[in-house]
Amino acid sequence: MQIKPVLAALRHHKAGTLLIAMQIALTLAIVCNALFIIHARLARLSQPSGVDEPSLLVIGNEWAGKPDTDQIASLIAADLDTLRKVPGVANVYATNAVPLGNGGNVLGMGHSPDKFQRVADSAYYFADENTLPTLGLKLVEGRNFRPDEIGQVDGKGTIQPSVVIITRELARLMFPHESALGKPVYISARPSIVIGVVERLRTPFVDSSMAKWADNSTLVPYRWLIPFTRYVVRVQPGQLDEVMHHVRAALYAANRMRVINPKDGMRTFAQVREQAYRDDRGMAILMSGISVILLLITGAGIVGLTSFWVGQRRKQIGVRRALGATRHDILSYFLTENLLIAVCGVVMGGVLAVGLNLWLMKQFEIDRLAPGYVLAGVVTLLLLGQAAVLAPALRASRVSPVEATRSV
């Protein structure tokens, strides 16, 4: 292979070589970090929530005029009745929060009441006997709540359930080697017996800081008697629009003294998911856009500079051709030249990429870059470089030997 003459020629235009290599290095550093961010965001976007999303409707209801606790209990009971009577409604329950709903309550869970000995953080959902069938949760062990187990609680933090249902992930954290069923856990001063384990139920939070325990959820058998209540409605297949249309009117007709926010008081679960991951999707789009622009500009830059070099060396090419070099020799000369520059670029770029990632990790709590991304970036840029150089190199290979005799 003709590496020696290529190196000799490169020494003659050091600056241009260095600029292309630098551009490739910087592009690689940015693109593989961007790819990494995109992939992390998309991975979060597609995480399952564990609930039967297509048939769920979430209503946020607030009572006006400060009803007291007893009034709220009967108001909620009346609302649940009203909702059940709406045609197309399959099931309904009242709660404090929904998965991905961004807003909920958290408790530490441990094997003793000592608050500093917690084993895991867990989101908790107020639930009743209708919660599992409404959400479509899959019980992998144990049983559902019984109606007589559902308690009432009026304010913050006084829940002391005697029984709970937890997710499989939480059960695994609490009891790594055995079944959690029938065992006591502590989320308050009193023990709560695990009566059921569901396959999966996401927490309401999509923050990356809470991603570590995204599947730690606990269902507590309580009705929460505060002025703000969420109703989760399961509709019969294909009736989502229909039900959505009637539910608000039915609730207002039953009782006017309430607030259902016209903007987001009533959402399908698809909308809940949409809103929860809006930022992540946005970031992914933004990073993709920037990566594409970067690759295009780098590619175009290589085309531009190589074209210039080809133009500059027409005479030498002509001489080489006159001395017997084939078209293929010329073509492979330029491809080799670009490959050499690009390899230098991607080596620098790999180091830069890791450096940039380390800096981002320190500044923004981003994960460590997996080597696969650098590798993907390296391959992409080498291919891009070869593709970009192809057109000018072909043009060079078509330079006729006669050029050797011409002056510029």
What are the C-alpha distances in Å from 39 to residues 204, 241, 284, 288?
A: 22, 33, 8, 10
For position 156 contacting other proteins by CB under 8 A, the verdict is: yes
DSSP strands (E only) in 39-160: 56-63, 89-95, 105-110, 118-126, 139-142, 151-153
Q: In this structure, what DSSP letter does residue 238 have?
A: T
The bridge status of strand 222-224 relative to strand 151-153 is parallel
Question: How many Å apart are CA 361 and CA 368, to the nearest integer?
Answer: 7
For position 19 contacting other proteins by CB under 8 A, the verdict is: yes
Residue from the set 154, 199, 242, 403 that interacts with other proteins by CB under 8 A: 154
Select the span of 49-57, 139-147, 285-293, 385-393 touching other proteins (CB under 8 A).
285-293
Question: How many Å apart are CA 386 and CA 189, to the nearest integer?
Answer: 67
Residues 349-368 that bind other proteins (CB under 8 A): 356, 360, 363-366
Select the span of 127-135, 175-183, 250-258, 382-390 touching other proteins (CB under 8 A).
250-258
Smaller CB separation from other proteins, 209 or 324: 209
Smaller CB separation from other proteins, 360 or 376: 360
Residues in contact with other proteins, counted by CB under 8 A, come to a total of 67
Smaller CB separation from other proteins, 104 or 221: 104
Helix extents (H) in 162-277: 168-174, 240-254, 269-276
Token pair belonging to 275 = 């809103």
Smaller CB separation from other proteins, 70 or 279: 279
* Cβ 193 to other proteins shortest distance, Å: 19
For position 14 contacting other proteins by CB under 8 A, the verdict is: no
**Which candidate, 14, 211, 19, 188, places its Cα nearest to that of 114?**
188
Give Cα 220 to chain centroid, integer Å.
28
For position 203 contacting other proteins by CB under 8 A, the verdict is: no
Side chain identity, residue 306: T
Could you tell me if 189 and 83 are in contact, meaning their C-beta atoms sit under 8 angstroms apart?
A: no
Select the span of 195-203, 239-247, 277-285, 326-334 touching other proteins (CB under 8 A).
277-285
Query: Contact residues for other proteins (CB under 8 A)?
Result: 15-16, 19-20, 22-23, 26-27, 29-30, 33-34, 37, 62-66, 115-116, 153-158, 188-189, 209, 226-227, 252, 256-259, 261, 278-279, 282-283, 285-287, 290, 293-294, 297-298, 300-301, 303-305, 307-309, 311-312, 356, 360, 363-366, 407-408
